[in-house]
Amino acid sequence: MTHCSSRLLNLLLNILSIFIKNASPYWGGFLFLPSHILKERDFMNIGDFYNKVRQYALLTQTVESFHELDPYLVWGSLNITYPAFNCNINYIRRVGNNDIVNCTFYYGAKLKNDSSNIFEAQSNGFNTIVNVINHLRNDYELDDSEDIQIYPFHQQFSDILAGAYADVNIYVPVDDDCEDYDKEQSSSE
């Protein structure tokens, strides 16, 4: 490599490193996060969220077991204790200093052979979901302007179940000390 092409290559690498360091987080379809954001930003802990939902679901008198993830996978198993409560996180979106957790709560109870308990199972599902949501209001923010629709169901899994489900948006505050970290870094340089 000639001296000129070596200098050109070094110049291009320096420009690229400056660009990456100061670029917006999205560049060319790839996500570049400055290292201080990765070190300092407190990301939401999904396990902690599931544990809170589990705690509140099992506090109710109507839930015998709690499960994470999709009930179509879980309730297809033969080893489920009913009535069961499922929480499935559909997505998490960062907005400012909040993570908006969109999840679906499911409540399912096994029906009797004559299905005489269908309305009881659906009512218990409605009440259980409302109780879990009300408990979560103590820990997280829920958008009160947003209606929560709870849908009854009656469906065959490995057993015939009835109950209810609802999609919920929960706002989880996230500590973001990046601004303070940036000030510390610039003053130490």
Tell whether the model's pLDDT for residue 19 goes beyond 90: no
Per-residue pLDDT, 55: 95
Main-chain phi, psi angles of 103, to 5 degrees? -135, 160
Per-residue pLDDT, 143: 67
Q: How far apart are CA 20 and CA 69, in angstroms?
A: 37
Per-residue pLDDT, 34: 37
Note the pTM of the prediction, 2 decimals.
Answer: 0.69
Please indicate whether residue 95 or residue 125 has the higher confidence score (pLDDT). 125
Determine contact, residues 71/108, Cβ cutoff 8 Å: yes
**pLDDT more than 70, % of the chain:** 67
Per-residue pLDDT, 179: 47
Closest CA to 143 of 173, 100, 105: 100
Please indicate whether residue 123 or residue 180 has the higher confidence score (pLDDT). 123
- Per residue in 76-100, pLDDT (tens digit) is 887 889 999 999 999 999 888 888 8
Contacts made by residues 181-188, CB under 8 angstroms, sequence distance 24+: 181/36, 181/39, 181/40, 182/36, 185/36
Per-residue pLDDT, 78: 77
pLDDT interval class at 22 (50, 70, 90): very low
- Per residue in 38-81, pLDDT (tens digit) is 333 455 688 888 999 999 999 999 999 999 988 888 888 878 89
Per-residue pLDDT, 8: 52
Tell whether the model's pLDDT for residue 117 goes beyond 60: yes
User: Residue 87 is inside which H or E element, if any?
Assistant: strand 84-95
